[in-house]
């Protein structure tokens, strides 16, 4: 199996973790990790998903004021549930990808914020924080189909092409006439 698409997915996750520390817009970090996890959960196996979850959650916790490891469970739960139910999801439909991105973009920060309540005092949930989380959801709703387009394109570019089998088989040929 060609490892280039998976390597590129890990590279994208690493860049996404770094990117959210660099380009805040309207006070909101550009966090597209939920969209990446949705993509990994719907197109790759559990080992790859675990790797993506580890890179994205540990990276974010290390660069933020979060206690290290706190975002691991929300990231994993999002990917795990989607991976478990992916045969029921219309994962090739763009609107389904957008909805999953939106749901992930809202659910993941909310779960992390909920977990943080147990051991530290993050900003209390108010209208401002809710609005920012909603905007993150919208960002991921836009990012998720775009990621599918980009990575499907990369897969097509780097995966080995299947051998095209011909309909003609010499051993099944009906020979006519005298031999």
Partner 1 sequence: MPSRSFHWALGLAIALAVVLLNLPPVAAGRLRVAVSSLFLPLFGLVGSFQSLADRAAFAPLTRSTLIAEIERLRMTQQQLQLSDMQGRAALEENARLRSLLGWQPQVRWTHKAARVIGREPTTWWRSLTLDFGERHGARVGQPVLTSDGLVGRIREVYPLTCQVVLIGDTECGVSTLVRETRDQGLIQSTASDPIGEGVVLLRTLQHSPGILAGHSVVTSGLGGVFPPGIPVGQVVDTRSAEGGLYTEVRVRLAARLNRLEEVWVLTQKSP
Binding to partner 1 by residue 107, rule CB under 8 A? no
Three-class SS string for the chain? CCCHHHHHHHHHHHHHHHHCCCCCECCECCCCHHHHHHHHHHHCCHHHHHHHHHHHHHHHHHHCCCCCCCCHHHHHHHHHHHHHCCCCCCCCCHHHHHHHHHHHHHHHHHHHHHHHCCCCCCCCCCHHHHHHHHHHHHHHHHHHHHHHHHHHHHHHHHCCCCCCCCCCCHHHCCCCCCC
Binding mask 137-176 for partner 1 (x = CB under 8 A): ----------------------------------------
Binding to partner 1 by residue 111, rule CB under 8 A? no
State how far the Cα of 140 lies from the Cα of 153, in Å rounded to an integer. 19
- The answer to whether 48 touches 9, Cβ cutoff 8 Å, is yes
Q: Residue 48 CB, nearest distance to partner 1 (Å)?
A: 11
Q: Based on CB atoms, which residue is closest to partner 1, 89 or 152?
A: 89
Binding to partner 1 by residue 61, rule CB under 8 A? yes
Among 11, 68, 90, 149, binds partner 1 (CB under 8 A): 68
Binding to partner 1 by residue 119, rule CB under 8 A? yes
Among 60, 97, 103, 140, binds partner 1 (CB under 8 A): 60
Among 22, 166, 173, 175, binds partner 1 (CB under 8 A): 22
Binding range to partner 1, per CB under 8 A, among 77-85, 86-94, 146-154, 160-168? 77-85
Phi first, then psi, for residue 12 (nearest 5°) are -65, -40
The site for partner 1 (CB under 8 A) is made up of 14-15, 17-18, 20-22, 24, 26-29, 31, 46, 49-50, 53-54, 58-70, 72-73, 76, 80, 83-84, 109, 112-113, 116, 119, 121-124, 126-129, 131-133, 136
């Amino acid at each position: 199996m060609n490892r280039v698409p998976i390597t590129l997915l890990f590279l994208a996750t690493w860049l996404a973790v770094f990117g959210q520390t660099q380009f805040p817009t309207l006070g909101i970090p550009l966090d597209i990790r939920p969209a990446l996890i949705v993509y990994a959960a719907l197109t790759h196996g559990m080992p790859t998903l675990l790797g993506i979850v580890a890179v994205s959650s540990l990276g974010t916790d290390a660069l933020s004021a979060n206690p290290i490891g706190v975002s691991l469970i929300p990231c994993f739960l999002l990917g795990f549930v989607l991976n478990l139910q992916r045969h029921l999801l219309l994962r090739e439909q763009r609107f389904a990808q957008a909805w999953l991105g939106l749901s992930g973009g809202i659910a993941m920060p909310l779960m992390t914020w909920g977990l943080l309540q147990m051991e530290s005092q993050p900003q209390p949930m108010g209208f401002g924080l809710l609005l920012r989380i909603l905007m993150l959801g919208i960002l991921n709703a836009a990012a998720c189909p775009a990621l599918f387009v980009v990575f499907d394109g990369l897969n097509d570019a780097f995966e080995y092409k299947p051998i095209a089998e011909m309909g003609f088989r010499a051993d099944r040929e009906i020979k006519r006439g005298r031999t």
